[in-house]
């Protein structure tokens, strides 16, 4: 099992910004409370990431569940 309390530990293993963006996207999906922060980081690292649309939809769904 992977602990999700320290994303930087896993980010440091990534070789480039594409891998970092993908790793952050996985953390965003696992930790919806911090989704916006991860979403911003993914966009900064890889604005063309295919995962951005998934993160936006996931965030939208979570926001609706809060209301």
Pick left, alpha or beta for residue 2 (phi over 0 → left; psi -120 to 50 → alpha; otherwise beta).
beta
More confident residue, 60 or 13: 13
d(CA 20, CA 62): 24
Residue 2 lies in a domain: no
Confidence grade of residue 65 (pLDDT, cut at 50, 70, 90): low
Residue 50 lies in a domain: yes
Confidence grade of residue 67 (pLDDT, cut at 50, 70, 90): low
Crossing angle of helices 51-66 and 35-45, in 10° steps, is 160
Domain residues for the domain of 35 are 7-66
Cα torsion through 50, 34, 66, 43, rounded to 10: -30
What is the number of structural domains in the chain? Answer: 1
Whether pTM > 0.85 for this model: the answer is no
Q: For residue range 6-45, what is the model confidence (pLDDT) as tens digits?
A: 888 999 999 999 999 999 998 888 876 767 888 899 999 9
Residue 25 lies in a domain: yes
Residue 36 lies in a domain: yes
Residue 40 lies in a domain: yes
Residue 58 lies in a domain: yes
């Amino acid at each position: 099992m992977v602990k999700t309390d320290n994303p930087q530990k896993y980010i440091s293993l990534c070789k480039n910004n594409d891998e970092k963006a993908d790793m952050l996207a996985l953390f965003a999906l696992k930790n919806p409370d911090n989704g916006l922060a991860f979403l911003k980081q993914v966009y900064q690292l890889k604005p063309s990431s295919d995962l951005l649309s998934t993160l936006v939809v996931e965030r939208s769904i979570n926001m609706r569940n809060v209301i």
